[in-house]
Amino acid sequence: MVTIKTAEQIALMRRAGRVVAEMHEFCIKAAKPGATTQDVDAVAREVLARRNATSNFLNYHGFPAVICTSPNDVIVHGIPSTTVVLEEGDILSIDCGAIIEGWHGDAAITVPIGEIDEESQRLLTVTKACLDDAIAEIVAGNSLGDIGHAVESRALAANFSVVREYVGHGIGTAMHEEPQVPNYGVPGKGMRIRPGHVLAIEPMINAGTQETQVLSDGWTVVTQDGQRSAHFEHSIACTENGPEVLTLPG
Ligand code: MG
Ligand code: MG
């Protein structure tokens, strides 16, 4: 069932979203050459504690951290580790989540570590644009196919590929609610979006093949060809006045 959130409930989700945005602010500062992905997780934990928020990632199906850190060819679900040291020229997806009074926020950003090559920068720029295009489609009466098509068409026009095994989702009192929101689709097809729907939209765009593989840790999803992948995400409410991104700084 796809739930409709009230204005009061969306206000709580906005508070959770602000905590997520603050986690990103501190994680981005921590994600420097020489830092480990565990160092990035540590600052995210500090923000959660300071804001009296709880983690929706920690212990989710046994996940051991409060953020996912996914460098280079890791698409999503990378586990923060003391043995993963960030290097100049890397890219890193930082996926953060928080719960306030039972309501969830979820957002991701992919950042450059120091100076990166031109093609990696293009991958980040295009993936962010895929998300922005998708957000613009979160208008009452539009369909999930409109969202997916917006992501897919921009990615393909840039000669990148779209991950199909992992998708966006509804969000509310659980991190993952119905509906699933694929990053591909046919305009006009699929569920119609209504005011009060809240969706986490998260394009995962690969420089090479769309094929994915899960490593033996059961979490880390990588590109099959070893090329890089980028991931951007926001939690967004459909309102009478169009989309409202909830995972923004306060
Ligand atoms: Mg998500
Ligand atoms: Mg996420």
Calculate what percentage of the chain has a pLDDT beyond 70: 100
Q: Strand pairing of 67-71 and 91-100?
A: antiparallel
Q: What is the mean pLDDT of residues 31-41?
A: 98
CA 12 to ligand 1 center in whole angstroms? 18
Q: Indicate the helix (H) or strand (E) that contains 147.
A: helix 144-157
Q: Tell me the C-alpha to C-alpha distance, in Å, between residue 8 and each of 13, 88, 167, 228.
A: 9, 44, 27, 40
Query: What is the reported pLDDT for 37?
Result: 99
pLDDT in tens, 163-190: 999 999 999 999 999 999 999 999 999 9
pLDDT of residue 86: 98
Closest ligand by atom to 107 CA: 2
- pLDDT for the residue 63: 98
Q: Give residue-wise pLDDT tens across range 78-100.
A: 999 999 999 999 999 999 999 99
Instruction: Say if CB 13 and CB 235 are below 8 A apart.
Output: yes
Task: Give the ligand with the smallest distance to the CA of 68.
Answer: 2
Determine the average pLDDT of the residues in 148-160: 98
Dihedrals phi, psi of 232, to nearest 5 degrees: -130, 145
Distance 208 CA to ligand 2 centre (A): 22
Q: Which ligand does the CA of 76 lie closest to?
A: 2
pLDDT value at residue 248: 98
Total residue count of the chain as it appears in this document: 250
155 Cα to the center of ligand 1, angstroms: 19
Q: Which residues surround ligand 1, an ion (CB under 5 A)?
A: 106, 200
Residues with Cβ within 8 Å of residue 197, at least 6 apart in sequence: 2, 4, 5, 138, 170, 237, 238
pLDDT given at position 127: 99
The 3-state DSSP class for residue 28 equals: helix
Q: Write phi, then psi, for 239 (nearest 5 degrees).
A: -115, 175
Average pLDDT, the chain: 98
Q: Residue 233 C-alpha to ligand 2 middle, in angstroms?
A: 6
Distance 195 CA to ligand 2 centre (A): 22
Q: Which ligand is nearest to the CA of 166?
A: 1
pTM beyond 0.85: the answer is yes
Q: Which ligand is nearest to the CA of 96?
A: 2
What are φ and ψ of residue 210, in 5° steps? Answer: -80, -10
Measured in Å, residue 191 CA sits from the centre of ligand 2 at 22
Tell me, what's the pLDDT at 131? Answer: 98
**Which CATH code for domain 7-245?**
3.90.230.10
Looking at residues 51-57, what average pLDDT do you find? 98
Q: Ligand 1 centroid vs 121 CA: distance in angstroms?
A: 23
Q: Which ligand does the CA of 170 lie closest to?
A: 1
Ligand lying nearest the CA atom of residue 180: 1
Look at residue 157 in the predicted model and tell me its pLDDT.
98
User: How far, in Å, from the CA of 141 to the mean position of ligand 1?
Assistant: 23
Please tell me the distance from the alpha carbon of residue 171 to that of residue 178, in angstroms, as a whole number.
8
pLDDT score for 122: 98
Q: In which band, very low, low, confident or very high, does the pLDDT at 158 lie, cut at 50, 70 and 90? A: very high
Mean pLDDT of 5-22: 98
What's the pLDDT tens digit per position in 110-121? 999 999 999 999
CA of 117 to the centre of ligand 2 (A): 25
Question: Scanning the structure block, which residue is given the tokens 């209504």?
Answer: 194
pLDDT digits (tens, 9 = 90+) for 133-151: 999 999 999 999 999 999 9
Q: What is the CA radius of gyration of the chain?
A: 17
- Report d(CA 37, CA 171) in Å as an integer: 26
